[in-house]
């Protein structure tokens, strides 16, 4: 095969480009690859039903924010603060992640108040978010399958504890394709305190889908996207000529082998070339008004979660389908008062600003904003010397959504009087995924990909749409 392929390439680079009237860069990629290679195969038959959302911003609070200190007040827990946890709560309970023995209950030290016309109850740690409470769809009855970070993040992203499956953003790219051919369909931005919890590539990986559906990380400093610029001494014209030759060879190989990964490589090379112009424009905040920068609490240059929130708005505004923000530092085992105050101080204002900004621009209606982490935190104390924190908790926690066809100003579900178990209108991660896809016009049972002899889907064989949260 290699010998045959090589013999067909008897043209030198210079001769080939010369005979091609300046190269095949003048050809549209659509004509080279029938255009379908730039979009997810899943969009060829159209949406399964009318979509309420066209794009998603997932604000991922990595580490596990405490539902008990932010969105789910428990008077009974406060009343019994310091008492031993009731044994009935530990029925069918898996071992705590780090706590050993039988811990004591720990109430929240923070004040909760009802806000807006909806009366959404939110902690004093989130004063800015409280101002947009009527835009939120709060789900208090989330539960998941693990209390370990990496499998938990994988599960929230991929619907499986394994790290080799496509993420939600990848499934969305595959199912809906790209809107802006000059930008990726799926991007990732990171911020926060590195507390020992790694950010794994699998968190935005494509799994068994081809590589064009992987998330593209945007950096906080230097070149926004790694390896996007030309090497020293190489002009854009030079790069275009080299790319023309490479793409011609890749196209010939694709015709011979029919390998989807070759097609993905062709599409990725072309996208990277176009991103050389589009990404610097996207990352340039110089034209954002002082008022907008102040609204988000962001600096034009200094990296921060606030800056990432503004970048997320700019990206979806320009056609990026799925933007995921990872904000690290929520894993509060040792001093939750200090650590959650720090995280809320950095994230509260920009999250509220993002919602208000999207609404003011007419984007919130069809942009689904999701907030949450891989799990919640325990209603018992993890004592560390003179300080205390909360351990990982998968059995009941809170997430919220806004815009994109969700029912604004509502609270769905509940946990027990201690915030331990989801008890009312329970929502599993599979149910959340099914609901997200439904809002995007996709039936989660019909979005499939055949790999290794079987059909896979984001929700595996589970999941139901939570219709109560739909507008």
Encode pLDDT of 53-74 as tens digits. 999 999 999 999 999 999 999 9
The predicted-structure confidence for 294-331, as pLDDT tens digits, reads as follows 999 999 999 999 999 999 999 999 999 999 999 999 99
Residue 60's DSSP bridge partners are 326, 372
Measured CA distances, 25 to 34, 103, 109, 253 (Å): 15, 66, 63, 18
Residue 20's DSSP bridge partners are none
132 and 139 in contact (C-beta within 8 Å)?
Answer: no
pLDDT-based confidence at residue 269 (cuts at 50, 70, 90): low
| Structure confidence at residue 10 (pLDDT) | 37
**DSSP for residue 42:** G
Tell how strand 427-428 and strand 136-143 pair up. Answer: parallel
308 and 173 in contact (C-beta within 8 Å)?
Answer: no
The predicted-structure confidence for 199-238, as pLDDT tens digits, reads as follows 888 899 999 998 889 999 988 777 777 666 667 766 766 5
The predicted-structure confidence for 101-145, as pLDDT tens digits, reads as follows 889 999 999 999 999 999 999 999 999 999 999 999 999 999 999
| Structure confidence at residue 273 (pLDDT) | 61
pLDDT of 16 over the 90 cut: no
247 and 32 in contact (C-beta within 8 Å)?
Answer: yes
pLDDT of 279 over the 70 cut: yes
Tell how strand 55-62 and strand 382-384 pair up. Answer: unpaired
pLDDT of 30 over the 70 cut: no
| 275 CB-side CA count, 13 A | 23
d(CA 443, CA 428): 17
pLDDT of 369 over the 90 cut: yes
pLDDT-wise least confident of 29-43, 267-281, 448-462 = 29-43
| Structure confidence at residue 272 (pLDDT) | 65
Length of the chain (residues): 471
| Structure confidence at residue 408 (pLDDT) | 98
| Structure confidence at residue 281 (pLDDT) | 86
**pTM of the complete model:** 0.85
| Structure confidence at residue 238 (pLDDT) | 59
Number of H helices, E strands in the chain: 14, 19
Nearest C-alpha neighbor of 109 from the set 73, 55, 146: 73
Tokens of 341: 């105050």
CATH 3.40.720 segments of the chain: 52-220+303-469
Residue 190's DSSP bridge partners are 326
| Structure confidence at residue 180 (pLDDT) | 84
Average confidence (pLDDT) over 260-285 = 72
pLDDT of 40 over the 50 cut: no
pLDDT-based confidence at residue 271 (cuts at 50, 70, 90): low
| Structure confidence at residue 152 (pLDDT) | 97
pLDDT-based confidence at residue 194 (cuts at 50, 70, 90): confident
Nearest C-alpha neighbor of 446 from the set 171, 177, 186: 171
| Structure confidence at residue 302 (pLDDT) | 94
| Structure confidence at residue 4 (pLDDT) | 31
Residue 77's DSSP bridge partners are none
d(CA 304, CA 295): 14
Burial 37-68 (b: 16+ CB within 10 A, else e): bbbbbbbeeeebeebbbbbbbbbbbbbbbbbb
314 and 57 in contact (C-beta within 8 Å)?
Answer: no
Phi and psi of 277, rounded to 5°?
Answer: -95, -40
- The total of other beta-carbon atoms located within 10 Å of residue 162's CB is 12
pLDDT-based confidence at residue 35 (cuts at 50, 70, 90): very low
125 and 138 in contact (C-beta within 8 Å)?
Answer: no
The predicted-structure confidence for 153-170, as pLDDT tens digits, reads as follows 999 999 999 888 999 999
| Structure confidence at residue 282 (pLDDT) | 87
pLDDT-based confidence at residue 47 (cuts at 50, 70, 90): very high
- The total of other beta-carbon atoms located within 10 Å of residue 251's CB is 17
pLDDT-based confidence at residue 150 (cuts at 50, 70, 90): very high
215 and 204 in contact (C-beta within 8 Å)?
Answer: yes
pLDDT of 13 over the 60 cut: no
d(CA 149, CA 331): 9
Q: Which residues touch 371 (CB under 8 Å, ≥6 apart)?
A: 59, 61, 351, 399, 400, 401, 402
| Structure confidence at residue 239 (pLDDT) | 63
| Structure confidence at residue 38 (pLDDT) | 36
More confident residue, 27 or 225: 225
pLDDT of 23 over the 80 cut: no
- Average pLDDT, rounded, for the chain: 86
Tell how strand 392-393 and strand 376-377 pair up. Answer: antiparallel
| Structure confidence at residue 330 (pLDDT) | 97
| 26 CB-side CA count, 13 A | 5
Tokens of 312: 């997320």
| Structure confidence at residue 254 (pLDDT) | 67
Give the domain 52-220+303-469 fold: Alkaline Phosphatase, subunit A (3.40.720)
Q: Which residues touch 251 (CB under 8 Å, ≥6 apart)?
A: 32, 33, 266
392 and 149 in contact (C-beta within 8 Å)?
Answer: yes
pLDDT-wise least confident of 168-177, 257-266, 331-340, 344-353 = 257-266
The rounded percent of the chain whose pLDDT value lies above 90 is 68
Tell how strand 112-115 and strand 120-123 pair up. Answer: antiparallel
Ramachandran region, residue 307 (left: φ > 0; alpha: ψ -120 to 50; beta: rest): alpha
| Structure confidence at residue 265 (pLDDT) | 66
pLDDT of 28 over the 50 cut: no
């Amino acid at each position: 095969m290699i010998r045959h392929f090589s013999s067909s390439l008897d043209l030198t680079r210079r001769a080939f480009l010369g005979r091609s009237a300046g190269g095949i860069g003048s050809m549209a990629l659509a004509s080279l690859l029938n255009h379908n290679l730039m979009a997810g195969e899943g969009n060829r038959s159209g949406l399964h039903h009318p979509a309420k959302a066209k794009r998603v911003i997932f604000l991922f609070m990595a580490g596990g924010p405490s539902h008990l200190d932010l969105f789910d007040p428990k008077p009974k827990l406060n009343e019994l603060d310091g008492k031993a946890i009731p044994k009935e709560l530990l029925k069918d309970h898996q071992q705590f992640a780090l706590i050993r023995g039988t811990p004591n209950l720990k109430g929240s030290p923070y004040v909760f108040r009802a806000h807006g016309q909806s009366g959404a109850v939110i902690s004093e740690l989130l004063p800015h978010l409280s101002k947009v409470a009527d835009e939120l769809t709060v789900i208090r009855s989330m539960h998941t399958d693990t209390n370990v970070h990496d499998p938990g993040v994988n599960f929230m992203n991929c619907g499986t504890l394994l790290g080799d499956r496509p993420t939600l953003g990848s499934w969305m790219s595959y199912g809906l394709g790209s809107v802006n051919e000059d930008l990726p369909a799926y991007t990732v931005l990171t911020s926060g305190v590195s507390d020992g919890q790694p950010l794994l590539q699998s968190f935005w990986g494509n799994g068994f889908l081809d590589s064009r559906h992987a998330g593209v990380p945007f950096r906080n400093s230097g070149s926004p996207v790694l390896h996007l610029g030309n090497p020293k001494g190489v002009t854009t014209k030079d790069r275009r000529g080299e790319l023309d030759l490479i793409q011609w060879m890749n196209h010939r190989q694709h015709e011979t082998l029919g390998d989807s990964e070759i097609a993905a490589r062709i599409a990725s090379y072309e996208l990277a070339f176009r991103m050389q112009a589009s990404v610097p424009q996207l990352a340039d905040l110089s034209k954002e008004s002082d008022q907008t920068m102040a609204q988000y609490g962001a600096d034009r240059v200094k990296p921060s979660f606030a800056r990432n929130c503004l970048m997320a708005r700019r990206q979806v505004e320009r056609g990026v389908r799925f933007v995921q923000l990872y904000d690290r530092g929520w894993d509060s085992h040792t001093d939750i008062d200090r650590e959650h105050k720090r995280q809320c101080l950095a994230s509260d204002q920009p999250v509220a600003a993002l919602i208000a900004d999207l609404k003011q621009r007419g984007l919130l209606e069809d942009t689904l904003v999701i907030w949450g982490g891989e799990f919640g935190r325990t209603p018992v104390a993890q004592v560390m010397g003179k300080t205390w924190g909360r351990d990982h908790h998968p059995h009941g926690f809170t997430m919220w959504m806004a815009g994109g066809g969700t029912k604004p100003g509502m609270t769905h579900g509940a946990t027990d009087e201690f915030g331990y178990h989801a008890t009312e209108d329970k929502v599993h991660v599979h149910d959340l995924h099914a609901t997200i896809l439904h809002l995007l016009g996709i039936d989660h049972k019909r979005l499939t990909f055949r790999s290794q002899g079987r059909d896979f889907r984001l929700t595996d064989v589970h999941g139901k749409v939570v219709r109560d949260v739909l507008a």
